Amino acid sequence: MKDIKENLKNAFLKGSLLPEANLADDIWKAVIKRNQRIVYSKLITLSLTGFVSLYSLAPAFRMLALDFSQSGFYEYLSLTFSSGGSIVAYWKDFLLLLAESLPVMSILLFLMLVFVFFLSLKYAIKQIVKGQLSLSL
């Protein structure tokens, strides 16, 4: 009976699972590689978003300038410099007239594109820094 117990004990000792020598390093390298792929994919996405918004700024600015010229905003604004007395008397109505003549949709589109560009630039820089930090590990 002792012989069987000894044989069983030896069998379990030989068959016990021992981790490979480089298993922890391999796991760590896989985690770092996965994080780098995530950083690079985010960087590519944010860079493309930034370039598209930057490329779209020129037509949006052209549309904004055209809408400003068609809305009559410059003509109304020039009244402030040409006739000072009548503007002072009706300043509330004049401010409402100026506000109504603003091309709001063009302004919103232009400002949205500027915001998207700067936001994607900010996050792309963060991803670049994060990618450099993960490379140094």
Closest CA to 114 of 70, 39, 60, 64: 60
Residue 20 maps to a domain: no
How many CB atoms within 10 Å of residue 61?
Answer: 15
Q: Are the CB atoms for 94 and 79 separated by under 8 Å?
A: yes
Residue 35 maps to a domain: yes
Residue 69 maps to a domain: yes
Residue 11 maps to a domain: no
Q: Are the CB atoms for 102 and 73 separated by under 8 Å?
A: yes
Has this prediction a pTM greater than 0.85?
no
Residue 84 maps to a domain: yes
- Number of compact structural domains in the chain: 1
Could you tell me the CA-to-CA distances from 16 to 9, 10, 22, 23, 125 in Å, in that order?
11, 10, 18, 16, 49
Residue 4 maps to a domain: no
Give the pLDDT of residue 113: 96
Domain hosting residue 41, numbered range: 25-136
Q: Are the CB atoms for 105 and 66 separated by under 8 Å?
A: no
pLDDT in tens, the chain (137 residues): 667 777 777 776 666 666 667 777 888 889 889 988 888 898 899 999 999 999 999 999 999 999 988 888 888 878 777 776 777 777 788 888 888 888 999 999 999 999 999 999 999 998 888 777 665 55
